[in-house]
Structure 1
Amino acid sequence: MMEVMQRPRVPVASLPAGIPNVPTFDGEGTLDAGKEATVFLKDFAEAIQNKDWSTFGNVFDENSWWRDSLTLTFDKRTLKGKQDIVKAWKTLSETRKPSRFSSQKDDDMIMEAQFVRMAPQLASLNVPFSFTTDAPKTKCIGQFKLVPKDGQWKVWVMTTAVMSLEEHPFESLPRQSPSMIDASQRGKPQAQGLPRVEGVLDAIVIGASSSGISNTIMLDSIGANVAAFDIEPAAGGNWSTKRYENICLHHPAFMIQLPMFPVPREGYPDYLSGRDLTKYFGAAIEKLKLPIFAGIKVVSNVFDEKTNLWNVTVQDVETNKEATLQAKNIVLSNGFLVSHENPKYPDLKDRHFFKGPVEHTTVYRTPGPYKGKDVVIVGSGNSAHDVAHNLALSNAKSVTILQRSPTVLLDFDVIGPMVTMMYDGATPIDTADFLRASLPAAIERDMARGALRLVGWCLRRDAKSAGMVENVSLFGMDSEGEVPGYVTASGHPHLYFSGIVEAGGVVLATGYEIVDLPKRWKETGFLDAKSAGMVENVSLFGMDSEGEVPGYVTASGHPHLYFSGIGFYMCRWIGRYTAIQVIADVAGKFPATYPRSK
């Protein structure tokens, strides 16, 4: 059972730094990475087997890190510092008994030891390994990033991740084992009415777009009795019906693929549009025979403490017929972070005097209403530029983007390979996912800064220049009846504010509100009052003091509720970790998680 504790968010900038200084050293060019890795892993495993925690501690640098995903901690945790890491392993080894450490390749561990120089002052010996745990029995993989210190290799970063439960392995789909969802109701991406279910489901997945489908795939594969529901008449249909017509993903097809179903090479571009996504999701549901029910609204979820079950009321959107199902766990993949229910609208004074169209990007679909008009787009993020491109190629008279605060603009030819370097197709997708999520947030932050500096980008705007200019958001007149800073005399000799822009139509690319989701769900009845009071407010996206996101995937606040959806390229490992937790709970083998400091 997961602990119930609300966790405060902290600024990413406040997370402690952790980049060692590793200049070029003698013998670097002839280093036998495989041999060094074998010796290190043997010593590490023997120290654990012998419960020699002094020797175990000596392999870690004082400023070391351990990022774990459901191996010993059975949680998403990042611990920093030798002392805390040794304490955790010593404590958890008593019950979880890590063993069978190996560098041999298999289906889950295909990495090889290698020495990697990332920068003139940074390098590491990367040592991959696999191991197992007890209670429950799991198969896990890991990687050390070792750095040379005082004549020996020391752990800078240790990353570990669960891959499967030995007693409940992931099986190929379509499913061959018995299921509560009849074959006649499987593999249908379009609305098919209410499910015919008798008995208690292991899990109900709410939402059937990228994350919801991924969770359903992994839950079905691991043998859980699962059903997924989506309010759209076609699973993933929101990408075709509720997004602007020219929406296109910024990550390539290999990177956003669902588990067990890569994007087919034929019939799909490398960068999928909204329509492509809906088509792809439908193909996956049909091919894998998934238990997904489109056109179904989940009305309420009430947890019964006497039975330890959820009573889930669902409604057929077309017929309004309702049914109540019982489930041991619910998995939320319903767009709780970025939702059409939470658009951020600026305060537009005298809005009723303006006769032109004003739409938020959650509503904007086509450029039709803006034909022949001067269009102003408020905001300068991804959606703003997508919509601007759509309008610029249409019959709009002109398109102007208004920017309030600094916006990061990156050269895609340079930044693209950095973002997708693990996902070029050469590395198996599960290995790429492990490597992509292997670094603690603070290290990833600092390495990203270093990489951007190497390619010539300045990461901080000129504070002196910023201090010279007028704050033109404070619109008003000076003693001469002129508006300070507009057109002339901005305060900086080479910076100009161009004045007032006329608009015949406005598109608001102003993002999404942070809302109190638990309060909303309590008021609407989506969650019962007690459950709503327990869960993290995942709309308040941020990181805790360890650099992990509170409530996501693990430790939602409720022991039988999971927030399992955040982004396309994360959907596969989120689905894996969610399925492992659910089936461990169903089997009565969910271990105590490693406690957080109060």
Structure 2
Amino acid sequence: MHALARIPNLSESDFSEHPVWRDSHGLTGTFRTFYSAERISKVWKILSATRGVANIKLGDSRTRIHRLPNRSFAWVTVDFCFETCSLPKTSNIGQLFLTPAPNGEWKIWMITTYLERMLGYPSVDELIPPTADRIRENSAIPDRKQAQFDAVVVGAGQAGLSVGGRLKALGVSYVVIDAIRTVGDNWKTRYDSTRLHTTREFAHLPFGRTFTPEYQEYLTKDDVAKGFVEWADKFDINVWLSTCLENGIWDKVHKRYTLYINHAGKRVTITCRHVVMATGGYGPKRTYPEYDGREIFKGHVIHAEDYKNSHEWKGQAGVVVGTANTAHDIAEDMVETGMKSVWMIQRGRTFVIPASHFKRYSDRLYNAHTPTATADRLSYTLPWAITRQIAQALLHPMAAAEPERYDALKKANFKVTQYGDLVYNLTVRRGGHYMDVGCSNLISNGMVKVKSDSLPVRYKPDGLECADGTFIPADVVVFATGFSGTLGEMVEDLFGEEIGTKFGTFWGFNDEGEIRNAFVPTEQPGMWAAAGTVGHSRYHSRFIALHIAADIAGIPFEVYSQ
């Protein structure tokens, strides 16, 4: 193949008109996306030389032809692999996306490169469960006032567990800490009707399938919690529970952190070289719209975080403020409980994607036959801009085929976005959409009423009054309006303003279309951020672990910043 033979000396003439290259830590030491033939060929030559690209070979997979559903665009993929000779020496996987030029010659439309492993080190993608006779790590906090680890992971949700497992796979000394009392409580303590809106095959943690076919297709919160407990126990993940990080200090000279933690009232000091913040992408501050007259309202006002169920309000009037996933789930729960009336207050247009549509999209990769690690690589190595276009090319025709679904919502006064951008909602807005698992039908049938043309401005003793004078009866008002604050602010609160500033802005896209400061080296040495969906967490956690292992070994990855 001409293009493969040209590596590592690709020139501008090897590329199509609008090429793109995304590197996932393989050559750049971070996530970078480059555009234009001139830019790609220049950076490719520089990094191929400095990293010592060698042993370039065709991959095991066959050359494959791909087409968009409307057949408006097609391409051929060619897998290849290569190694790097500079320290740390690595094994990498690449993929060429080729399209024919008018003269019939194949040109490179897109390249993806991906750090697979460090040569001479265990695989970050494999962890063998300990045998019965081995001393287990996963235990209560040791009976001492000081401890030392290479890395401390703050948060034992999907991101924290994933990072912890991958650190263990690489032989790095680590501990995962969380204030929860039991692994999985960050799911188990949510509202009773919580259920994943994505399928079981997308929900696994690293190292195989966490959820066997005995689990239902759409996991409940208790299913997720149970799976997390079983996974942490199976792989003996070192988790300290009922443990809070109170504050920390960074030693610039020795490049180490001192963390002051509280475990059930006991103070313990931990020193470490790396801290992974896996506490989620939001700050802890609940968001409430302010309405006049709160003191005269005779009903209940709660935030969705405190909502469990509507049993005590059966036969009464409920109002949910918000129209994203949580708001829809709560409204549906209110109907099923038997509340007299259920209203949703819609503050902005909402993208609705039927769960069945997303399942058809997701099942192409995440299924019982494809290893999850393979699906992740195929899904997450693409440039986000391309992922967005492919998702829309697959999902929009499904939406177009069911106009009656969206027309019914519009007729019910629900302001719906039919052709939305799911990737944007997940990576920039961090929500604001609804994966429809049934509530849209309740809205269309009038069982859940929607107020979208005027917002509440004041409480009445028995309800809410909107700006246009409309009265909405309410015995309980649930604010499904999210949270404010940022992960950077949390870092600042824990470690001080200087470190918080260096940590930087988290989430959303930068100028290259990469998610800012997520699973990449930040300006603050040894400070990492891990968050996102279970898919984000499972896949991207591998890169944090590889970086930490390389740094501990004294051969850190060099980050290309030009």
Shorter-chain TM range is 0.7 to 0.9
- Against the structure 1 CA distance between its residues 94 and 114, is the aligned structure 2 distance closer, same or farther, given a 3 Å change threshold? same
**Kept after mapping to 1: 8 A contact 2:291/2:457:** no
Determine the structure 2 residue equivalent to 1:13: none
- Is 1:509 aligned to 2:480, yes or no? yes
1:43 maps to amino acid: A
Are 1:399 and 2:342 counterparts? Answer: yes
- 8 Å CA contact 1:41–1:101 kept in 2: the answer is no
Matched, 1:285 2:232: yes
In 1, distance between residues paired with 2:4 and 2:314? 70
Residue 474 of structure 1: CA displacement? 10
**Cα RMSD (Å):** 2.9
Q: Does 1:113 align with 2:60?
A: no
Pairwise CA distance, 1:266: 5.9
Match of residue 133, structure 1, among 57, 61, 84 = 84
Relative to structure 1, is the Cα distance of residues 576 and 474 closer, same or farther in structure 2, using a 3 angstrom cutoff? Answer: closer
> Contact 1:375–1:398 at 8 Å: present in 2 too?
yes
Give distance in 2, aligned partners of 1:569 and 1:447. 18
> Does the aligned pair in 2 maintain the 1:378–1:510 contact within 8 Å?
yes
Aligned residue among 533, 540, 544 for 1:567: 533
Between the aligned partners of 2:90 and 2:248, the Cα distance in structure 1 is: 31
Aligned: 1:89 with 2:44: yes
The alignment partner of 1:501 has SS state of strand
Paired residues for 1:310-321 under 5 Å: 310-317=257-264, 320-321=265-266
SS of structure 1 residue aligned to 2:257: strand
What residue in structure 2 maps to residue 251 of structure 1?
A: 198
Q: In the comparison of the two structures, how many residue pairs are matched? A: 505
The alpha carbon displacement at 1:506 in A equals 0.8
Could you tell me which of 132, 147, 158 is aligned with 2:111? 158
Matches within 5 A, 1:312-331: 312-317=259-264, 320-331=265-276
Give, in angstroms, the shift of residue 407 of structure 1. 1.2
Change (3 A) 1:511 1:64: same
The verdict on how the C-alpha distance between 1:582 and 1:195 changes in structure 2, with shifts beyond 3 A counting, is farther
- What is the letter of the counterpart of residue 128 of structure 1? D
**1:376 is the counterpart of 2:338:** no
Cα separation, 2, equivalents of 1:94 and 1:117: 34
One of 202, 208, 212 as aligned partner of 1:265: 212
* Match in the other structure for 2:75: 124
1:409 aligns with 2:352: yes
Change (3 A) 1:392 1:73: same
Deviation at 1:143, TM superposition (A): 1.3
Query: Deviation at 1:423?
Result: 0.1
The code of the aligned residue for 1:345 comes to: Y
The equivalences for 1:193-342 within 5 A come to: 193-194=141-142, 200-241=148-189, 243-265=190-212, 267-317=214-264, 320-335=265-280, 337-338=281-282, 341-342=284-285
CA contact (8 A) 1:357 1:369 kept: no
CA distance in 1, matches of 2:162, 2:285: 24
1:556 is matched with: 522
In structure 1, how many angstroms separate the alpha carbons of the residues matched to 2:59 and 2:49?
26
Q: Indicate how the Cα distance of structure 1 residues 374 and 198 shifts in structure 2: closer, same or farther if over 3 A, else same.
A: closer
Higher RCO, 1 vs 2 (CA within 8 Å, ≥6 residues apart) = 1
TM-superposition CA deviations, 1:444-471 (whole Å, max 9, x none): 3333333344335389x99xxx9xxx96
Residues 215, 576 of structure 1: 8 Å contact kept: yes
Identity rate, percent: 27
Correspondence 1:68 to 2:18 = no
Please give the TM-score of this superposition, normalised by the length of structure 1. 0.79
Letter in 2 for 1:68: D
SS in 1 for 2:285: coil
CA distance in 2 between counterparts of 1:76 and 1:363 reads 37
Q: In the aligned structure 1, how far is the partner of 2:91 from the partner of 2:48?
A: 15
Query: In structure 2, what is the equivalent of residue 366 of structure 1?
Result: 309
The 2-side partners of 1:501 and 1:383 are apart by 21
Are the counterparts in 2 of residues 185 and 195 from structure 1 also a CA contact under 8 Å? no
Question: Contact conserved, 1:175 with 1:220, CA < 8 A, in 2?
Answer: no
Question: Counterpart amino acid of 1:112?
Answer: R
Find the partner of 1:349 among 292, 314, 321. 292
Q: Tell me, which stretches of 5 or more residues in structure 2 are unaligned?
A: 416-451, 459-464
Q: CA deviation at 1:175?
A: 5.7
1:44 paired with 2:12, answer no
Q: Which structure's residues are more often strand, by fraction?
A: 2
Q: Which amino acid in the other structure matches residue 5 of structure 2?
A: D
Secondary structure of 1:87's match? helix
Deviation at 1:329, TM superposition (A): 0.4
CA displacement at 1:284 relative to structure 2:
1.0
The two structures have a TM-score, normalised by structure 2, of 0.84
Aligned partners of 2:456 and 2:529: how far apart in 1?
A: 41
User: In structure 2, the residue corresponding to 1:286 is in which secondary structure?
Assistant: helix
- Letter paired with 1:88: V
Indicate if the aligned counterparts of 1:57 and 1:86 stay in contact, CA closer than 8 A.
yes
The residue number in structure 2 matching 1:14 is none
The alignment partner of 1:121 has SS state of coil
Q: Cα deviations across residues 280-322 of structure 1 (Å, max 9, x unaligned)? A: 11111111111111111111221111211110111112xx111
- In structure 2, distance between residues paired with 1:244 and 1:360: 11
Would you say 1:144 and 2:96 are equivalent positions? yes
Q: Between Structure 1 and Structure 2, whose CA radius of gyration is higher?
A: 1
Query: In the alignment, does 2:376 pair up with 1:433?
Result: yes
Which residue is equivalent to 2:121? 168
Q: Which runs of 5 or more residues in structure 1 are unaligned? A: 1-38, 106-110, 177-181, 477-482, 488-498
1:534 maps to a residue whose letter is: K
Counterpart amino acid of 2:159?
A: S
Deviation at 1:146, TM superposition (A): 0.9
2-side partners of 1:504 and 1:130: how far apart? Answer: 62
Q: 1:484 to 1:346 in 2, by over 3 A?
A: closer
The 3-state SS of whatever aligns with 1:571 is helix
- Check if 1:533 corresponds to 2:501: yes
